[in-house]
Amino acid sequence: MIEKQSQTQSGQHKRRRFFLRVCFCILLVPTTLWAALAIYYSNLPGLLVRGMCSVLFFIVALSIAFWAKSFGYRLKTYGVVFGVVLIGWWLIPASNHRDWQQDAAVLPYADIAGNTMTIHNIRNFDYTSPTDYTPAYYDKTVYLDQLQTVDLFLIYWGPELIAHTILSFGFEDGTYIAISIETRKEKGESYSAIKGFFKQYELTYVVADEKDVVRLRSNYRKEDVYLYRLRTDPESARDVFLDYFKVINGLVDEPKWYNALTHNCTTTIRGHTQPYNPDIKFDWRMLANGLIDEMGYERGAIANDRPFEELKKQSLINPHAQTLDRDSDFSYEIRKERPPGDSVE
């Protein structure tokens, strides 16, 4: 009887060890790859040094995994080595003091006093091509009790599953303040989805006139731009607007990193809206954000009184926007004949 119990316990122990080894192997591949890339894209000096350290980590990780004497030793040693890389990566500081590209050089901020908000450094560049422009900024005072609407711009430049999102806040006097969450790039730097996972770009909120941030994409980059009028109430619009500027003001003194998965142009919007819409559940289309209009249609966040395909076709602004260019009524004109976003009382 005792011998049988001993055999049973021994079998359970072997199965448990086998299960742990399988889990270790499953975790080993992605964590080793992540750590090697984190070292390569770290703030260590010099490309050669980073490359050598990245390869060295990869070799050490494989050595621990396959040649260490015992499984327990492998697990503990790899945990320590990976932990050192993780802590080092976590401690890389974001900065506002870099040689920024012109379109990201000036940070917006706002002074808020009760119902009155003065927004500083609203970007309003005058473009002649995607890369040629005359820089310009202005300040504007708005009144929060006049904030009425929120609109969503969805911009496609490649695969239909991926898009850039911009929210634009509309006031009673016809003013629209567009806010685009982007990477803050240095001179000579271009966007890379891989780099976006490894603290290569600071996070920035471009607060802009629609004649800048929308017209740039529709008229000069020739990207497909869709405008959706969101169904929302003024109180929720104001809550989200203020939440945006809480972060925008904070970035002036405490810069943060952009992350292609957790802090991008769409997942960050969810962070601003979730506190005021707690019933909204996560949807995988928030990651494949080229489908976020379809998600909004299904949830009733945008007009759903017609087939979605018809709505999307009517929401494309490019043909009309390209006839307007510098028209002072650009924001008003691109909304003409667009499906309305009824206010939710």
Annotate 51-117 with DSSP letters as a single string: HHHHHHHHHHHHHHHHHSSSHHHHHHHHHHHHHHHHHHHHTPPP-S-S-B-GGGSS--EEEEETTEE
Higher-pLDDT residue of 304, 122: 122
pLDDT, mean of residues 171-191: 95
Check: CB of residue 187 under 8 Å from CB of residue 99: yes
Q: What is the mean pLDDT of residues 59-87?
A: 82
Residue whose pair of structure tokens reads 């976020």 in the numeric block: 292
pTM for the complete prediction? 0.88
Q: Using CA atoms, how far apart are residues 274 and 278, in angstroms rounded to an integer? A: 5
Span 235-256, pLDDT tens digits? 999 999 999 999 999 999 999 9
* Band of pLDDT at residue 9, cut at 50, 70 and 90: low
Distance CA 256, CA 203 (A): 6
Residue 345 confidence class, pLDDT cut points 50, 70, 90 = very low
CA 312 to the chain's CA centroid: 23
- In sequence order, what are the residues at sequence separation of 6 or more whose Cβ sits closer than 8 angstroms to the Cβ of residue 199? 41, 89, 92, 94, 257, 259
Note the pLDDT of residue 344: 46
pLDDT-wise least confident of 2-11, 194-203, 232-241, 303-312: 2-11
CB 199 within 8 A of CB 40: no
Confidence of residue 74 (pLDDT cuts 50, 70, 90): confident
The pLDDT value recorded for residue 159 is 86
Tell me which of 66-80, 103-117, 250-264 is least confident: 66-80
* CA–CA separation, 283 and 275 (whole Å): 16
What is the reported pLDDT for 154? 97
